[in-house]
Amino acid sequence: MIDLLRRTKQLYQKLHFDPALFITVGALLIIGIIMVASTTSVVGASKFGDGFYHLKRHLIFMTLGGILFIIGNVTDHHLYKRYIPFGFFIGLFILSLTLIPGIGTKLGGAKRWINLVFFQFQPVELMKFFISVFLANALTAKSSVLSQFTKGITPILAIIILPIILLSQQPDLGNIILIILVTFSVFFVANLPLKHLFAFIGMALSGVLTSIAIYPYQLERIKIFLDPWSDPLGRSYHIIQSYTAIGSGGLLGHGFGQSKLKFFYLPLHYSDFIFSIICEEGGFIFASIVVLLFLNLVFQGFRIARDSQSSYSSYLAISLTLFLCFQACLNIGVVIGLFPITGIPLTFISYGGTSLVMSLFSCGVLMNIAKSNLRKGVS
């Protein structure tokens, strides 16, 4: 009996979950299950003869993500920096496969996926994790020369720009902006001189403007963003239907499962525009709860970063947290009309495979950092 208790205690210590982070992520996952069940029944019944088709797949991805969550939790997060050069190269290689005809899958005019028969794998989700580890490791290693742009910042940017170049060929401006936002934020937290931050902003804006000039559809999205009523039955259809869903929800919403826009009025209502249905079915109050959960996720991630005993652990926690929450921020911003359409899913909630799986793995790594803090006596 004593031996059983001892082993149970050891298992608990190895699988220790940060309660606040665990509850926050768990709540978002439950909301995701509810909303995927609500939004996909009509599409599933129409296309596959099974109203639960998408929900079943979503639960499979969530189970796979749960396994990776546990792996991320029990694996020492310091191990990743040892293999980051190899991992970053592998990430770039897989990302480049999307551009090869016959391997990369083109959907919606962009080659962002690799067809793995049972599901579409999006390599950029894996690349985000490698970027997080790289930033944490590089900023720690170059801490003494960060005040020097040439020696400190230029080598880091030279590496970060590689996945951005590949993403620009897909093209995937949404994730490019996401990577830029996270990189800038981590640089800011690392107390880089303001002149370096302004130089980074200038370079980033130049790159984004160049992308817009090369790909006319991106300029069209900006025009739609500035005047969404210019083509209500054409290019502006998505966002206007999103406004309709949000406005019709009012304060309390129509009730879960009672959406009218999911009957093929709002495209991508179970992925990129699922927050519109959250507003329609749950109203302002439920939508606010979702936003507050993401804000709490930011708080918990930064708390873990604050309590970390090494700069590497702190930067890694910040990078992972920002990738999760900036993605949600961009998605919600697009849906309510604050940003141009980018094609970014809502973290933990949108139907999808790669994003959900890698998001759960990132949370597992955050748990490992929190556990490391606990072992060192940080309250």
Residue 5 forms part of a structural domain: no
Residue 304 forms part of a structural domain: yes
Residue 22 forms part of a structural domain: no
Residue 1 forms part of a structural domain: no
Global pTM value: 0.91
Residue 152 forms part of a structural domain: yes
Q: How many C-beta neighbours within 10 Å does residue 59 have? A: 14
Residue 221 forms part of a structural domain: yes
Residue 18 forms part of a structural domain: no
- Quick one: pLDDT at residue 348? 95
Q: How many domains would you assign to the chain?
A: 1
Q: What is the pLDDT of residues 22-76, one digit of tens each?
A: 999 999 999 999 999 999 988 888 888 888 888 999 999 999 999 999 999 999 9
Q: What is the pLDDT of residues 297-326, one digit of tens each?
A: 999 999 999 999 899 999 999 999 999 999
Domain span at residue 115 reads: 27-375
Residue 170 burial (C-beta neighbours within 10 Å; 0-12, 13-18, 19+): buried
- Quick one: pLDDT at residue 5? 53
Residue 142 burial (C-beta neighbours within 10 Å; 0-12, 13-18, 19+): middle
Q: How many C-beta neighbours within 10 Å does residue 13 have? A: 11
* Average pLDDT estimate for 250-256: 89
Residue 4 forms part of a structural domain: no
Sheet holding 120-121, edge to edge: 104-107, 110-115, 120-121
Q: What is the pLDDT of residues 77-130, one digit of tens each?
A: 999 999 999 999 999 999 998 888 878 777 766 778 887 767 778 899 999 999
